[in-house]
A and B are shown apart, each in its own frame.
Chain A
Amino acid sequence: MNGLSKLERRRHRRDLISAVIRYGILTAVALVMIYPILWLVGATFKTNNEIFTTVNFIPKRIDFTPYIEGWKTRTQFTFTTFFLNTFQYVIPKILFCLVSSTLVAYGFARFQFPFRKFFFSLLMATMFLPAVVTRIPLYLLWKNLGLLDTYVPLIAPTIFANEPFFVFMLIQFLRSIPTYLDEAATVDGCNSFEILIRILLPALKPAIVSCTIFQFIWSFNDFLGPLIYVTSLSKYPVALALKMSIDQSSGIVEWNQILAMSFLALLPALILFFAAQKYFVEGITSTGAKG
């Protein structure tokens, strides 16, 4: 019994070839994408000499000295200070952003009020508004309030749901939750705030996890904000400390130490990403991400 006709066999072969091509391209691109990071990890264990002489990412030996020496830095502070500093504004940013964005998204998603359409367009427009144009007046505002060289300019805007990305993501998510739950709760005598807290918040959990992760990584990675507002070394976050370490080009640059600290700076984002991968993809695809 010859089950496959000539035509089917030919098609089968064509499918096989195109699958091989697809996997070939995907794997080659994935290697190019990931190799720099693998190489970085390997280089943190290498001696300076080895870094500059080999293409292979696997180090000849595992030596944690670059980590220990790099952590100490050449200043009176260690990376303990710089990491703690970073968390001092990253954590409040996450909390404020979650509260304010949820309230605002709830307002837009569930109520009809005067100028709603107009405000919503304004919210959309701010997604595309170049931040470069408001940077100088904002600096002057915080300067006049005497808040330069504090974390307030970095944290305060999140109280006002200033990142439309998060508001959007939550609005999209709220729209997918059927309103009959709200209605039933209204009949039971819940007011609008109780509905948000008791009914919607539990259902919003995946979106809230996404927001937390994105805000964490973006705040942790933020460089320009601290660069403008944080000036004293004792308040430096990791981003500024790393920048400082590559600028100290006097004497021998201990590249393995700088790379070791760079890897540690990437680690929180990587850990979070692998722990909560599915929330990422959902978050990005529901709104379109920045960056």
Chain B
Amino acid sequence: MKHSKIGLLYILPWLAGMIFLTLYPFVNALVISFTDYNLVRKPNFVGFENYISLFRDADFLSTLTATVKYTIFTVPLQLTFALFIAYILNFKLKGINFYRTAYYIPSLLGGNVAVAVLWRFLFQQDGFINRFIGLFGAAPIPWLSSPNGAMAVIVLLKVWQFGSSMLIFLAALKDVPQELYEAASVDGSSRFYSFFRITIPLITPTIFFNLVMQMVNAFQEFNGPYLVTGRGPLSATYLTSMYIYDNAFKYFNMGYASAASWVLFIIIMGVTAILFATQNKWVFYSDEGN
């Protein structure tokens, strides 16, 4: 690698963007959160008032509960499923490309409004899902009209998009040396045992990466609930990102919404920090990698 300050010149676009489109707004959000700015009046400094009101605001607290619930259901389900399927796909199988494609398509299309339209449609009272389970004699489930049903619908929408986590797991599984399995097999250990004693420990860095990524994303989920269930019955799917959106871009309470976004940010960072702190207990990095 060349020692040259010209490198700085090449990264300049990113550096400028970092300062003006990331760091500045990031700090600015904190500043605005201490004001009563609403686009009309001149902003006044109000100290911690927004934060105090937030924690007395039953609506906000309910969005936090819903968001935590959503994250707790979505992330483990999605990752377990992704790992399980990646594990099966990692055996030398014919037609692996077909399966890989089939599993990846939902992740690819997932962000599109069209998928939300479809989802809303499938889970209606007289929709496809209820008619399908009806074939087996099950009673229709009030998916969109009950709090738990609505939560299940948006969780399923996210879990359905497990494809990109799966591909990352698949790449990690391919790096596990085959000899290790052979050695274990000679020693007489079962596949089940090898999976938990060899595979899982070796891919913990990937599990950790996927866990943090998906967790950060789940806490900020917007599209799914906004488009499919809306607030949901009893605000069951009214997540914090939607609450921030409503306050900022519908009611223009910029100060209040910024405070809410900082609370969400601190929660996300807190959980990330906890995950990082537990890292040396369960994540094994091999010596060779950087």
Contact = CB atoms under 8 A, between A and B. Distances in A.
B51 interface: no
A39 B123 CA distance: 13
Nearest to B213: A288
Given A136-B258, A223-B227, A291 B217 contact: yes
B166 to A, nearest CB: 9
A40 B118 contact: yes
B115 interface: yes
Interface residues of A, number: 89
Interface residues of B, number: 94
Contacts of B167: 281, 284-285, 289
Given A111-B7, A112-B1, A128-B212, A284 B164 contact: yes
Contacts of B216: 128, 130
B28 A137 contact: yes
A281 B171 CA distance: 9
A209 B247 CA distance: 40
Contacts of B170: 285
Interface string A215-226: 001101111100
B26 A224 contact: no
Given A111-B7, A119-B15, A290-B213, A137 B88 contact: no
A275 interface: no
Interface in B119-133: 119-122, 126, 128, 131-132
A134 B29 contact: yes
Given A103-B13, A161-B13, A192-B4, A218 B111 contact: yes
- Most chain A CB within 10 A, of B1, B11, B104, B122, is at B11
Interface in A229-249: 238-240, 242-243, 246
A79 interface: no
B168 A284 contact: yes
A6 B55 CA distance: 71
Interface in A66-90: none
Contact of B108 (A129, A223, A273): A273
A280 B210 CA distance: 18
Nearest to A245: B117
B183 interface: no
A33 B272 CA distance: 30
A94 interface: no
A255 B113 contact: no
Contacts of B18: 122-123, 126, 160
A177 interface: no
Contact of B7 (A112, A179, A221, A289): A112
Interface in A100-142: 100, 103-104, 106-108, 110-114, 116, 119, 122-123, 126-141
Contact of B21 (A160, A167, A192, A222): A160
A291 to B, nearest CB: 6
A180 interface: no
A15 B224 CA distance: 41
A247 B22 CA distance: 34
A265 interface: yes
- Give the most central of A131, A157, A222: most B CB within 10 Å: A131
A269 interface: yes
A285 B8 contact: no
Interface stretch (B58-66, B139-147, B261-269): B261-269
Contacts of A106: 10
A107 B223 contact: no
A26 B85 CA distance: 8
Contacts of B128: 36, 39, 55
B7 A104 contact: no
B113 A280 contact: no
Given A132-B220, A223-B111, A291-B111, A107 B8 contact: yes
Given A108-B7, A285-B170, A288-B164, 15 more contacts: A26-B93, A107-B7, A112-B1, A114-B5, A132-B241, A137-B28, A218-B111, A221-B111, A223-B227, A228-B249, A259-B118, A284-B164, A284-B167, A289-B107, A289-B168
9 contacts: A29-B85, A33-B102, A114-B8, A128-B272, A131-B220, A137-B28, A162-B22, A223-B227, A266-B115
Interface of B: 1-11, 13-18, 20-22, 24-26, 28-29, 32, 39, 85, 88-89, 91, 93, 97-115, 117-122, 126, 128, 131-132, 135, 160-161, 164, 167-168, 170-171, 209-210, 212-213, 216-217, 219-220, 222-223, 227, 241, 244-245, 248-249, 254, 257-258, 261-262, 264-265, 268, 272
Interface of A: 19, 22-23, 25-26, 29-30, 33-34, 36-37, 39-40, 52, 55, 100, 103-104, 106-108, 110-114, 116, 119, 122-123, 126-141, 143, 157, 159-162, 167, 179, 192, 217-218, 220-224, 228, 238-240, 242-243, 246, 255, 258-259, 261-263, 265-266, 269-270, 273, 277, 280-281, 284-285, 288-291
Q: Which 3 A-B pairs have the closest CB atoms?
A: A160-B17, A111-B7, A107-B10
